[in-house]
Amino acid sequence: MIYIFFGIILLLSELMYFQIADRLNIIDKPNQRSSHKHITLRGGGIVFYIGILLYSFWYSMPYPWFFAGATLISFISIIDDIRPVTNRIRLLFHFSGIILMFTEWEMFSNLPWWYVVVALIIGTGIINAFNFMDGINGITGGYSLVVLLTLTWLNEQLISFIDPVFLNTMLLSLLVFNFFNFRRYARCFAGDVGAVSIAFVILFGLGKLILLTGDLSYLVFIAVYGVDSVLTIVHRLVLHENIFEAHRKHVYQIMANELKIPHVRVAGIYMVLQSLINTGYMLIPRFLHWYYLAGILLLLVVTYVLFIRRFFKLHLQKAR
């Protein structure tokens, strides 16, 4: 019954936000770098933070430092959805939010300082990777659904590392968001608040799992996003482009914009690929996990490079 109640609250909250966003003109207008053609409400992913809020207050704040961090980064993200915020300020809030998450994990008392610094850089990278990858209908909600379902299965079947009610509440918020976004003509976009807050949730769950097991190979659960994000940044640096400016060079953007593959199909490809990777990881013996991670990363890197080289080669031939 509690999940029915939570689901109703999340749905009503999303519909209420639509009214507020419409009145305040919180919209996404298409431009030459966009992957969409219609004016659409921005910030519908605020339902993820509402899920965090609902769970935290209903269960008397079981993860107080995580909640504080999520509130901090969600606040600056919704501001950024309304009016642009400088990269320096946004990163300051991201660092602060992640440090609060580290406090929840008790990292400062259990790990050396250099480990914390590396984790801070990786955590910030993961959050911004989700933000960079949020560009077409369905991709953020669909991909996050795959990752959280994987964590939920692990939590219930193999190793308990987090409150299952928390994961289930976030899954409900994803279902509500996907109902309005995972379609040909989206009713809303996630916005910075959606991409950043759901990335914070995934980072929190993954981090707790990794700290409990001491196994970094669980990062394979976000390998598809990771490879696309990192190699696209490298590609843009090679081209001497500003990596903080909007662009259309991610693989999913090329598929949707240049190859004209429908958004939901592209999002589905990312979901299926990450699902297959996660399933394979859970089926193989544990002593092979690191080899599996290395093999998957190598395969994704080679696939990315071949795809990009072939696309730009064909693009250059057409231009001539």
Domain that holds residue 299: 2-319
> SS3 of 248, please?
coil
Q: CA 19, CA 25: separation in Å to the nearest integer?
A: 10
Domain count, the chain: 1
Let me know the angle formed at the C-alpha of 210 by 77 and 105, rounded to the nearest 5 degrees.
60
Cβ neighbours around 283 below 10 Å, total: 8
Amino acid in position 32: Q
Q: CA 176, CA 273: separation in Å to the nearest integer?
A: 23
In this prediction, residue 268 carries a pLDDT of: 96
- Residue bearing tokens 């969600």: 74
Is the pLDDT reported for residue 294 higher than 90?
Answer: yes
CB 89 within 8 A of CB 76: yes
CB 96 within 8 A of CB 69: yes
CB 180 within 8 A of CB 188: yes
The 10s digit of each residue's pLDDT in 46-57 is 999 999 999 999
Which comes out higher in pLDDT, residue 234 or 220?
A: 220
Which comes out higher in pLDDT, residue 241 or 206?
A: 206
The 10s digit of each residue's pLDDT in 151-187 is 999 999 999 999 999 999 999 999 999 999 999 889 9
The 10s digit of each residue's pLDDT in 48-106 is 999 999 999 999 999 999 999 999 999 999 999 988 899 899 999 999 999 999 999 99
In this prediction, residue 52 carries a pLDDT of: 98
Dihedral of CA atoms 83, 88, 94, 97 in degrees, nearest 10, equals -100
